Amino acid sequence: MAEPLVIKICGIKTLDLLETTIAAGADMVGFVHFVRSPRHVSIEDIATLISAARGRIETCVLLVNPDNSCVAEVAALGPDWIQLHGPESPHRVEAIRAEAGVEIMKAVPIGSAEDVRHVADFVDVADRILVDAKPPKGADRPGGLGETFDWALLETLDPSVPFMLSGGLTPQTVAEAIRTVRPFGVDVSSGVESAPGVKDKKLIEAFIRNARAAV
């Protein structure tokens, strides 16, 4: 029997949307702590959201190239996961995991076959791999840009490496993505928004419903 699909809704900013996401049946919820993102949430608000979510859904705080004090501040909130979404090296990922004492998800941007080869660098230092679309040159942030990448590139990935898929997924495309790529989980942010940073309840519900139906 196949493992159940893990569905993560990232970029949640309010208690109301947290409740929507839990009620719709997501497995994980992501909070972005990165000032340049339209989904940025303060440490204080993340603390409130994690408290409300605890024991009901797994929580993940997304950071981009964080310094040690930021890692410590976030780890103290007690999330289930810290997601590293910047240019962190394998050595840095390993150091953050040791320091935080929290499970680490490492996002690896994919735009070429060479990028796929880099996934292997993080398998032993992160607890989970998330493959995402590589942002275009000149982008001011590393994710949540609504771009997909060529899923065929993942055919060269070691099949023993489990991964979550992100990058431009929507309620309309998630089923095809799951059937084509066979990830163990999917992660969506901009694909369930009516405007940058503005989540849409009906899109969240449709995304989860369509993802579950594809398995």
* Catalytic residue positions, numbered: 10, 132
Q: How far apart are CA 204 and CA 66, in angstroms?
A: 29
112 closest CA partner among 133, 139, 126, 138:
133
Contact 57, 81 (CB under 8 A): no
Contact 134, 145 (CB under 8 A): no
- List the structure tokens of 178: 């799951």
Determine how β-strand 193-195 pairs with β-strand 198-199.
antiparallel
The amino acid at 9 = I
Q: What share of the chain is helix, strand, coil (3-state, %, to 5)?
A: 40, 20, 40
Residue 7, helix vs strand vs coil: strand
Please state, as a whole number, how many other Cβ atoms lie within 10 Å of the Cβ of residue 79: 25
